[in-house]
Amino acid sequence: MKICVIIPTYNEEENIKILTPLLFEKFKLFKDFSFYLVFVDGNSSDETVKSIKLLQKTFSPIHLIEEGKKSGLGGAYIKGYQYAMENLQADYVVEMDADLQHNPADFPKLIEKIKNNYDLIIGSRYVKGGSVPAEWNHRRKLISYFGSLFARVVLRMTKIKDFTSGFRVIKVKGILDQIDFSKLKSKGFAYKMDILVRIFDLKGKICEVPITFGLRDRGTSKMEEKNFQDSLKVILEFAVERNKNFIKFIVVGFGGLFIDLLVSNIANIYTRSSVASTIAGSLAMIFTFTLNNLWSFNDRTKIQLKSLIPTFIFYAASSYVPIILRGYVITYIEKLYGETFLMFNLGMLIGITFGIVWNFTVYSKIIWKRK
Ligand code: GDD
Ligand code: MN
Q: Is 185 helix (H, G, I), strand (E, B) or coil?
A: coil
Closest listed ligand to the CA of 71: 1
Across residues 276-294, what is the average pLDDT? 93
What pLDDT score was predicted for residue 273?
81
- Sheet containing 92-95: order of strands: 62-66, 34-41, 2-9, 92-95, 168-171, 120-124, 206-210
Q: Are residues 122 and 266 in the same domain?
A: no
* Confidence class for position 289, pLDDT limits 50, 70, 90: very high
The residue among 23, 99, 12 whose CA lies nearest residue 51 is: 12
What pLDDT score was predicted for residue 215?
87
Q: Are residues 193 and 334 in the same domain?
A: no
Across residues 256-284, what is the average pLDDT? 90
Q: Give the position, in ligand 1's atom list, of the atom nearest the Cα of 76.
A: 1
* Confidence class for position 225, pLDDT limits 50, 70, 90: low
Q: Give the position, in ligand 1's atom list, of the atom nearest the Cα of 101.
A: 26
pLDDT at 360 over 90: yes
What pLDDT score was predicted for residue 223?
63
User: Can you count the helices (H) and strands (E) in the chain?
Assistant: 11, 7
189 Cβ below 6 A of ligand 1? yes
Across residues 284-291, what is the average pLDDT? 96
The domain boundary, picked from 218, 242, 266, lies at 242
The domain boundary, picked from 242, 266, 283, lies at 242
What pLDDT score was predicted for residue 179?
98
- Stated as kind and residue range, the H or E segment containing 147 is helix 138-154
186 Cβ below 6 A of ligand 1? no
By alpha-carbon position, which residue is closest to atom 26 of ligand 1? 221
40 Cβ below 6 A of ligand 1? yes
* 43 C-alpha to ligand 2 centroid (Å): 17
Q: What type of residue is 136?
A: W
Residue list, CB under 5 A from ion ligand 2: 97, 99, 101, 216
pLDDT for 143-154, tens place per residue?
A: 888 888 899 998
Which one-letter DSSP state was computed for residue 176? G
Higher pLDDT, 163 or 223: 163
* Domain region containing 16: 2-242
Across residues 355-359, what is the average pLDDT? 96
* 359 C-alpha to ligand 1 centroid (Å): 45
Q: Are residues 234 and 308 in the same domain?
A: no
* 139 C-alpha to ligand 1 centroid (Å): 20
Q: Are residues 264 and 327 in the same domain?
A: yes
| Residue of 41, 223, 225 to test ligand 1 pocket, by largest number of atoms within 8 Å of CB | 223
Which one-letter DSSP state was computed for residue 87? T
Q: Are residues 103 and 55 in the same domain?
A: yes
CA–CA distance, 124 with 120 (Å, rounded to integer): 12
The model's pTM is 0.84
* Confidence class for position 224, pLDDT limits 50, 70, 90: low
Residues 6+ away with beta carbon under 8 Å from 302: none
pLDDT for 41-92, tens place per residue?
A: 999 999 999 999 999 999 999 999 999 999 999 999 999 999 999 999 999 9
pLDDT for 300-323, tens place per residue?
A: 888 888 999 999 999 999 999 998
Overall number of domains in the chain: 2
What pLDDT score was predicted for residue 272?
84
For 240-278, letters b (16+ CB in 10 Å) and e give: eebeebeebbeebbeebeebbeebbeebeeeeeeeebbe
Q: Can you give the C-alpha Rg of the chain in angstroms?
A: 28
Quote the mean pLDDT of the chain.
Answer: 93
Share of the chain above pLDDT 70, in %: 98
Q: Give the position, in ligand 1's atom list, of the atom nearest the Cα of 15.
A: 16
Q: Are residues 209 and 251 in the same domain?
A: no
Closest listed ligand to the CA of 189: 1
Q: Give the position, in ligand 1's atom list, of the atom nearest the Cα of 95.
A: 35
By alpha-carbon position, which residue is closest to atom 3 of ligand 1? 42
Q: Give the position, in ligand 1's atom list, of the atom nearest the Cα of 11.
A: 14
CA–CA distance, 52 with 110 (Å, rounded to integer): 25
Q: Are residues 209 and 253 in the same domain?
A: no
Q: Are residues 196 and 303 in the same domain?
A: no
Q: Are residues 202 and 257 in the same domain?
A: no
Q: Are residues 88 and 110 in the same domain?
A: yes
Share of the chain above pLDDT 90, in %: 81
Q: Are residues 162 and 175 in the same domain?
A: yes
* Highest-scoring range by mean pLDDT, 84-98, 223-237, 313-327: 84-98
The domain boundary, picked from 217, 242, 267, lies at 242
Domain with 94 in it: what CATH number?
A: 3.90.550.10
Q: Is 100 left (phi over 0), alpha (psi -120 to 50) or beta?
A: left
Q: Give the position, in ligand 1's atom list, of the atom nearest the Cα of 164.
A: 39
76 Cβ below 6 A of ligand 1? yes
Label residue 92 exposed, middle or buried (CB < 10 Å: 0-12, 13-18, 19+).
Answer: buried
By alpha-carbon position, which residue is closest to atom 17 of ligand 1? 97
Q: Are residues 259 and 322 in the same domain?
A: yes
Contact 11, 44 (CB under 8 A): yes
pLDDT at 220 over 70: no
